[in-house]
Amino acid sequence: MMDYLKSLNEPQIEAVTSTEGPLMIVAGAGSGKTRVLTYRIAYLIGNGIEPFNILSLTFTNKAAKEMRERIEKVVGNDARNIWMGTFHSVFAKILRIEHDKLGYPRDFTIYDTDDCKSLLRSIIKEMGLDDKIYKVSNVLARISNSKNRLVGPQQYAADPIIRSDDIAAQRPKLSEIYIKYCDRCFKAGAMDFDDLLYNTNVLFYKHLDVLNKYQSKFQYVMVDEFQDTNLSQYLITKKLAAKTRNICVVGDDAQSIYAFRGADIQNILSFQKEYPELKMVKLEQNYRSTKNIVDTANSVIAQNKNQLKKSVFTDNEHGELIGLIKAGSDNEEGRLIASSIFETRMHEGLNFSDFAILYRTNSQSRSFEEALRKLQIRYKIIGGLSFYQRKEIKDLISYLRFTINTNDEEALKRIINYPRRGIGETTIGNIIIKADELKVPVWEIISNSSKYIGGKAGEIIKNFATLIKSFRIIAQSKDAYETISHVAKSSGIIKELYEDKTVEGLARSENIQELLNAVKGFVEDPDREEKSIMAFLEEVSLLTDVDKKEEEDEKDYVTLMTVHSSKGLEFRNVYIVGLEEDLFPSQMMLGSRDDLEEERRLFYVAVTRAEKRLTLSYANTRYRFGRLVPCEPSRFLEEIDTKYIQMSKPKASLPVYNEMPSFGRDEPLVKKNVNSLLKPKAVNANYNHKVSDNFSPSDLSLLKEGMKVEHPKFGFGIVNNVDASGSEKKATVTFEMAGEKTLLLGFAKLMIV
């Protein structure tokens, strides 16, 4: 037996060595699936299979890179010849090779979401439609869902059911927008993310010789996170494996949480029907979490009916019981979680990076941010603005995109008047309209401006065209770093940012320098064969959400993120917050059993991110849409077997707050009726009444101008003025979120911070 197989358990060995025919590996959370996939590929190569004949599809570039590095340690440099990467990166590579079959240029641009929205915004405006009815995000989502279901623009327009749905939604022109959008993308030599999959399906459907070529090439097909695949991805992999039927899919139906992106859980649940000879191996041993965490996750997911049955277990220690925090309000929830992190870190000598706060929606982060800042706890919100989405970065990247692909209309719109060169929006609009009328690329108009545009504008555009032509010459002969350095200087971007001496301007200059550093590292990577600017642009455009999390230098900070963003990650200590009905589970996911089961799978994913300690929390009251509302504890809390839970209480020795909630010290729920412990207190939404037992006003006789205060409705603010004249004492406070308010102190429920 090969040495690396000795480190595997029996089901893992079976998964690694079962190489022929269809195989499904049902991999429970923390069950070592990455190790299994790595060793399976190594096993294939060790048994004489050429790396060129193996296709391994992942959902993040980071996962692909880690797997390739692990395989390389086992089999050596042969690992570099495996076709491995995300669906989008692998099929973008195939589409570049076969570009002429579909009429695209080899260096087609890949539009990101901002590019797509900008193009749709232009089309909606040109068609004279109401952008409040035809909201760009809604239109893009409709187009994206259609492509993922392989419904093209012409089919969309011809489908009476789709048309009637659009009419009912008061968007009868949506099919026309879809057609124009696809036409404009094609003319711009651009594909959006969905096109990379849609066009691969079109390529294989229309060109059977091409399909046969890749079926013969990829004799072994492996797909990770199969539960997250959509129809388009499923059909591509099915077609590629049709000749050999050597397809291995790895996934966990209990972690299928991306239906809103088009993922179809039926792909994994019904896989056996597609392949009757299928062999199924279940990886059920969890190596990540304590026994209490694993058992908690099992007790919740057992409520789902639509699932592949498995029994996840662990040989790890029992660990601590699951902590449960009941807070009087969302602000208090933030304070209690921050206090718990402060205490635990101090008492156990941990890093901030050992902690993560997971919530259902990004809007929940505010109370945790404020509480963490008060205790000087470093934190980072995952899901904020990506480095490559910052304006100055997108501007420079757009120069590079237009240099490579002069049909790229969206890149042109960003750079033609940046830095300012006196070209107004009207002129830009006229250029695009003229190109559309003459059925020629936009570059045809720009590069021959004297023929189409008169006056001063024509001369400016001629100079711009000359600049771009010089960039194209550089790009053809120099590597990515030399090209971007030249473009950054010659375009005037570096000069523009250097002359801006504001704090923001300096930050933007530093970001440009960081981009140059990134390109330098790209070029100097010894394992990288292609060092052109086009190769760099493709790598940037294909970054996934998880890859973007790795852009910043790793630092010691508490991670705040949505549960969706946490998938695939793990933390020593995890706090799952906001566990209330209509929040988690979301109110929008209570319309059907399928939706509720997906929401329960989302909670399961959150629970299984924890290694050593898991804490759950909910609030009795929460501000939602500007109103203080009573909250009911999440049904997921009641689904956890009470023997795994205990109420949590921060240690009284922490000198942070004047009062702490009285939960009872380390008292297991099993000793009490769980429903009575979870039941929220009665709350009157009238703010003149007490909000909760845990939010009591400070001694307001001490209130002075300049003090920081907190209000249960308006949040944090600074006292501008205190007026003791008249029968009622009043204070004028400027709140961070609500602005200036004058409050009667007898009823305001202010607390001095």
CB proximity list for 438: less than 8 A, separation 6 or greater:
444, 445
Q: Are 289 and 610 spatial neighbours (Cβ–Cβ below 8 Å)? A: yes
Which residues on adjacent β-strands are paired with residue 299? none
Nearest to 587 by CA among 576, 578, 596, 574: 596
By the 8 A CB rule, do 428 and 435 touch? no
Question: Using CA atoms, how far apart are residues 691 and 686, in angstroms rounded to an integer?
Answer: 9
d(CA 66, CA 618): 37
Residue tagged 């394992």 (tokens) = 527
For 155, residues 6+ apart whose C-beta sits below 8 A from its C-beta are none
The owner of tokens 């720009």 is 446
Rounded Cα–Cα distance for residues 167 and 678 (Å) = 45
Q: Which of helix, strand or coil describes residue 611?
A: strand
What one-letter code names the amino acid at 589? M
Residues 148 and 195 sit within 8 Å (Cβ to Cβ): no
Angle CA(118)–CA(121)–CA(122) in degrees, nearest 5?
A: 90
Residue 589's Cα: distance from chain center in Å? 19
Is residue 626 within 8 A of residue 614, CB to CB? The reply is no
Interhelix angle 174-187/160-168, nearest 10 degrees: 110
Residues labelled as active-site residues: 33-34, 224-225, 255, 609
Put the strands of the sheet holding 730-735 in their side by side order.
739-744, 730-735, 715-723, 708-711, 751-752
CA dihedral 458, 466, 523, 520 (to 10 degrees): -70
d(CA 425, CA 436): 17
Task: Report the DSSP pairing between strands 610-624 and 739-744.
Answer: unpaired
Task: DSSP letter for 407, please.
Answer: T
Q: What does the alpha-carbon distance between residue 581 and residue 729 come to, in Å, rounded to a whole number? A: 39
| Neighbouring C-alpha atoms within 13 Å toward the C-beta of 246 | 20
Identify the sign of the CA torsion 451, 457, 462, 464: negative
Among positive and negative, which fits the CA dihedral 178, 180, 183, 187? negative
